[in-house]
Amino acid sequence: MPWQLAQSSERTLDAPDLADDYYLNLLDWGSSNVLSIALGSTVYLWDASSGSTSELVTVDDDYGPVTSVSWAPDGRHIAVGLNSSDVQLWDTTSNRLVGTSWALLIMCSYLWFVLYGCAEDAHCD
């Protein structure tokens, strides 16, 4: 059966401060059906199941704007990259900052590697 596209949108995302920059990763859809979006120095969460929107964090101007968001596979934690080169890890169920630093980024990368294995083309001895 061929694909049929809807003639009108089901929902419209209003994102007035969404930066138009190829190198930024300002949207990410998590495994728990929540969309994260970075608008300027603020990260918002939109729950597609309930339609509710919440503000996760607004960072200080000294650190922002937000340059990337990325959900962990558990759908609960999100990494927030900042213009200052810091990375913050947030627990979205409690809206609590878990940690900030480059060391945290290295630790998270290592844990994802251990939990989910290495890439097919990598040499993993």
Instruction: Return the CATH number at 79.
Output: 2.40.10.480
pLDDT tens digit at each of 125 positions of the chain: 688 888 887 777 778 778 888 889 999 999 999 999 999 999 999 999 999 999 999 999 898 899 999 999 999 999 999 998 888 999 999 999 988 876 555 666 666 666 665 555 455 55
Q: Judge whether 7 lies within some domain.
A: no
The pTM is what?
A: 0.74
What does the block give as tokens for 109? 């990368």
Number of Cβ atoms within 10 Å of the Cβ of 103: 10
pLDDT reported for residue 13: 75
Instruction: Give the span between the Cα atoms of 1 and 59, in whole angstroms.
Output: 48
Q: Judge whether 10 lies within some domain.
A: no
pLDDT reported for residue 67: 93
Q: Judge whether 4 lies within some domain.
A: no
Q: Judge whether 88 lies within some domain.
A: yes
Q: Judge whether 16 lies within some domain.
A: no
| Count of structural domains within the chain | 1
**What residues make up the domain containing 86?**
27-116
Number of Cβ atoms within 10 Å of the Cβ of 39: 18
pLDDT reported for residue 111: 63
Q: Judge whether 54 lies within some domain.
A: yes
Q: Judge whether 77 lies within some domain.
A: yes
Q: Judge whether 5 lies within some domain.
A: no
